């Protein structure tokens, strides 16, 4: 195992931060911890993991469903962060830098694990079926924040292309602006708008297909 991987996964007791690590978070700033790591103290990366792993987990769960996949993504994010730490210039808060790295890691995961299985009406629950009925009869009355709708949307997200899923999650679920998405992803603003349009169209087409299957 590469030395940097060993430090993150073994020396830090990855995903099980000790109380001392949490205390270190309160006592030292991100800048101080990063400086210590770069000066040759890899153990100073442990409190960084303790401080930010919950946010990274929350991000990973938007793009993967299986717990082992989520764990793999989170571990990969911190391994990359440790390896790329010398490139952090401090021009923006470390948290922003880390979360951009987390998002790109999730995007790489989506591209590597793109789901190709088509979802059929038989796959959904009775509650989701009832919501689809409301959507079919009067789309404007079908509340998107209903529990059944949230479950159905998660299923539909699994059917989207990596680009479409990424832009829908950032725009509709995380409520980020087009400009912010462009900055995070490196896409141009026009490209973000085009992909958002295509993603919404794909989601609606999938919903309409499911709704129509109920009456075939």
Q: Write phi, then psi, for 2 (nearest 5 degrees).
A: -55, 150
Which tops the pLDDT comparison, 159 or 149?
A: 159
Instruction: Reply yes or no on whether the pLDDT at 46 is more than 50.
Output: yes
CATH topology of domain 3-112: Rna Polymerase Sigma Factor; Chain: A (1.10.1740)
CATH topology of domain 121-213: Arc Repressor Mutant, subunit A (1.10.10)
Give tens-digit pLDDT for 103-118: 999 999 998 887 544 5
3-class DSSP string for the chain: CCHHHHHHHHHCCCCCCCHHHHHHHHHCCHHHHHHHHHCCCHHHHHHHHHHHHHHHHHHHCCCCCCHHHHHHHHHHHHHHHHHHHHHCCCCCCHHHHHHHHHHHHHHHHHHHCCCCCCCCHHHCCHHHHHHHHHHHHCHHHCCCCCHHHHHHHHHHHCCCCHHHHHHHHHHHHCCCCHHHHHHHHCCCHHHHHHHHHHHHHHHHHHHHHHHHHCCC
- Of 50-64, 104-118, 160-174, the poorest mean pLDDT is in 104-118
- At residue 48, the pLDDT reads 94
Which tops the pLDDT comparison, 184 or 121?
A: 184
Q: So where are the chain's domains?
A: 3-112, 121-213
Average pLDDT value for residue range 23-52: 86
- At residue 158, the pLDDT reads 81
For 84-109, letters b (16+ CB in 10 Å) and e give ebeebeeeeebeebbbebbbbbbbeb
- At residue 1, the pLDDT reads 42
Q: Which residue shows structure tokens 């999730």?
A: 106
Which tops the pLDDT comparison, 102 or 17?
A: 102
For Cα atoms 97, 104, 42, give the angle at the middle one, nearest 5 degrees: 50
Compute CA distances 17 → 7, 35, 81, 89, whole Å: 13, 20, 17, 26
What does the block give as tokens for 141?
A: 């009355």
Instruction: Reply yes or no on whether the pLDDT at 77 is more than 60.
Output: yes
Give tens-digit pLDDT for 194-204: 999 998 888 88
216's CB contacts (< 8 A; 6+ apart) are none
Average pLDDT value for residue range 187-209: 88
Which tops the pLDDT comparison, 152 or 36?
A: 36
**146/140 Cα distance (integer angstroms):** 13
**Residues 82 and 7 sit within 8 Å (Cβ to Cβ):** yes
- At residue 65, the pLDDT reads 82
- Of 5-14, 21-30, 136-145, 162-171, the poorest mean pLDDT is in 5-14
């Amino acid at each position: 195992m590469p030395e940097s991987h060993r430090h993150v996964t073994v020396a830090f007791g990855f995903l099980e931060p000790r109380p001392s690590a949490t205390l270190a978070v309160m006592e030292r700033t991100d800048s101080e911890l990063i400086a210590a790591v770069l000066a040759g103290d890899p153990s100073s990366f442990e409190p960084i993991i303790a401080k930010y792993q919950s946010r990274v987990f929350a991000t990973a769960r938007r793009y993967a469903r299986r717990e082992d996949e989520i764990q793999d993504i989170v571990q990969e994010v911190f391994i990359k962060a440790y390896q790329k730490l010398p490139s952090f210039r401090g021009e923006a808060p470390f948290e922003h830098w880390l979360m951009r790295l987390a998002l790109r890691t999730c995007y790489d995961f989506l591209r590597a694990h793109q789901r190709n299985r088509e979802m059929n009406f038989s796959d959904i629950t009775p509650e989701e079926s009832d919501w689809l009925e409301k959507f079919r009869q009067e789309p404007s009355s079908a509340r998107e924040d209903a529990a059944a709708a949230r479950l159905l949307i998660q299923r539909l997200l699994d059917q989207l292309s990596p680009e479409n899923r990424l832009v829908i999650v950032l725009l509709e679920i995380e409520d980020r602006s087009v400009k912010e998405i462009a900055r995070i992803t490196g896409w141009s603003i026009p490209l973000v708008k085009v992909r958002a349009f295509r993603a919404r169209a794909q989601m609606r087409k999938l919903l309409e297909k499911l709704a129509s299957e109920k009456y075939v």
